[in-house]
Amino acid sequence: MKNNNLAVGLKLSLFFLIFIPTAFLKESFAVSLPKILIENVEIAGKDNAFKTRYLVNYYDNVVEVHFKTTLDRKNIQSFYYKLDKKTFFAQNATTWVAFQGNQFKISDITSGEYDIAVSYKTKSGQVAPSVVFHLKVERPWWRTWWFWGATFISLFGLFYGRERFLKFWADEEQRHAKKIVELELRTLQLQMNPHFIFNALNSIQSFVMTHDAITANSYLSKFANLIRMFLDSSRSKYTSLQEEIKLLNIYIEMESLRFEDKFDFTIEVDQDVNKYIEIPTMILQPFVENAINHGLRYKRMKGVLKIHFYYSKDHLICRMEDNGVGRKVAKEIQSKTRKGYKSQGLKITAERLVTYNKINESNIGFSISDLVTGPHEGHEDTGTVVEVRFPLS
């Protein structure tokens, strides 16, 4: 029994001796080889005692390693070093670099973390155990996260501040522009005041010089009411349609008295029209004044002035129609009888509307056209139609 066990043991020993890999034998044998002894590591020209970890600046990227070995140099075939860079996911392995002598130099090492391994190979093919040390090269300050973070924040703050600054000045310019336009509108409104009062006083003067005191007193009473309404409305840029119609009614009655009932007038408002809608103050009176003073007053027969308020799609329309002599004849008469006089009412009103539209981004407009009533003595008797359009929006 003992002989059988001895035989089995001998067979197993022979089996393992035959099938053990040659590389394993070499590796096992290589363990007995002496390691390289690193004497010092020179970084950027400065000697440093050997240690397992080094931390250097990004510009100190030249490393020179000095070493020695206890093995006879005659038995060494070559020395080797390897520079492996560590990445976020794994280590970036590189190949071994052969060199002669007892030192080697690595230049232009980029920022990052490295493992530097040094070994040698004997002439018999054996490889000595590697000596490994760690080298960390810091990033330059312009490649650090805090620099890019600070740069991003600074640029963001710069652009944000620039946009805020430009928006501030744009708002300031817009505010000043709006203020200028509002002052311009106010100036035009003040220009309208003396023009309106001047025409009203002329009417009173004409009436007082040619009529009795009782009628003059009635006329002055209407004028007082008109001036009060005018002063009340002049304090605001807007007035209700109802107040504007009331003012127009008193004004037309005064003019009708002054011209001795030379014309009749009607003011018609459709039932669906909102009388409390706001419109620019004193915007319609100049058109009525123009129709009376330049059209109806020169008509031989009794004239008619019609004012109609109605909706048309998305606009409130004020249509003022007179059957006077027309614009062409009125211009000819004025050029002969009242040289040098130019009515400023329509001009100021047009300027007011332009300014009002700028402020409110509105589109109030008006049109003036001829009204042909029919043939008469070889020519056409022509009146005038004025339409003022107020957008409901």
Each domain of the chain, given as residue ranges in start order, spans 1-28, 33-143, 177-391
Domain 33-143 and domain 177-391, same fold? Reply is: no
Would the CA dihedral through 243, 249, 255, 257 be positive or negative? negative
* pLDDT (0 to 100) of residue 297: 85
Q: Flag whether pLDDT at 353 surpasses 80.
A: yes
Q: Flag whether pLDDT at 383 surpasses 50.
A: yes
* pLDDT (0 to 100) of residue 82: 92
* pLDDT (0 to 100) of residue 27: 43
- Mapping DSSP onto H, E and C, the string for 43-101 reads ECCEEEECCCEEEECCCCCCEEEEEECCCCHHHEEEEEEEEEEECCCCEECCCCEEECC
Q: Flag whether pLDDT at 319 surpasses 90.
A: yes
Q: Flag whether pLDDT at 110 surpasses 70.
A: yes
Interval 45-68: pLDDT, tens: 888 888 999 998 888 889 999 999
Helix or strand (DSSP H, E) at 91: strand 91-92
Of the listed ranges 7-11, 171-175, 201-205, 370-374, the least confidently predicted one is 7-11
* pLDDT (0 to 100) of residue 108: 82
- What is the pLDDT averaged over residues 247-260? 85
Q: Flag whether pLDDT at 316 surpasses 70.
A: yes
Q: Flag whether pLDDT at 267 surpasses 50.
A: yes
* pLDDT (0 to 100) of residue 21: 44
Among 83-97, 120-134, 253-267, 363-377, top mean pLDDT goes to 120-134
Q: Flag whether pLDDT at 228 surpasses 70.
A: yes
Bridge partners of 271?
none
* pLDDT (0 to 100) of residue 334: 73
Q: What percent of the chain has pLDDT over 90?
A: 25
* pLDDT (0 to 100) of residue 67: 92
Label residue 114 by pLDDT band (50, 70, 90): very high
* Predicted TM-score (pTM) of this structure: 0.53
Q: Flag whether pLDDT at 360 surpasses 60.
A: yes
* pLDDT (0 to 100) of residue 186: 67
Q: Flag whether pLDDT at 153 surpasses 60.
A: yes
DSSP for residue 8 = H
* pLDDT (0 to 100) of residue 378: 45
- What is the pLDDT averaged over residues 339-355? 70
The candidate with the shortest Cα–Cα distance to 259, out of 297, 302, 221, 225, is 297
For residue 258, give the 3-state DSSP assignment: helix
* pLDDT (0 to 100) of residue 19: 44
**Separation CA 205–CA 221 (nearest Å):** 14
371-378 long-range contacts (CB < 8 A, ≥24 apart) are: 371/321, 371/322, 371/323, 371/326, 373/323
Angle (CA) 229-218-293 rounded to 5° is 70
* pLDDT (0 to 100) of residue 25: 38
More confident residue, 212 or 311: 311
Q: Flag whether pLDDT at 263 surpasses 80.
A: yes
What architecture does CATH give domain 177-391?
2-Layer Sandwich (3.30)
* pLDDT (0 to 100) of residue 91: 64
pLDDT, averaged across the chain: 80
- What is the pLDDT averaged over residues 357-369? 86
More confident residue, 342 or 345: 345
- What is the pLDDT averaged over residues 95-120? 90
- What is the pLDDT averaged over residues 345-368? 82
- For 33-143, CATH gives 2.60.40.10
Q: Which structure tokens are listed for 344? A: 């400023």
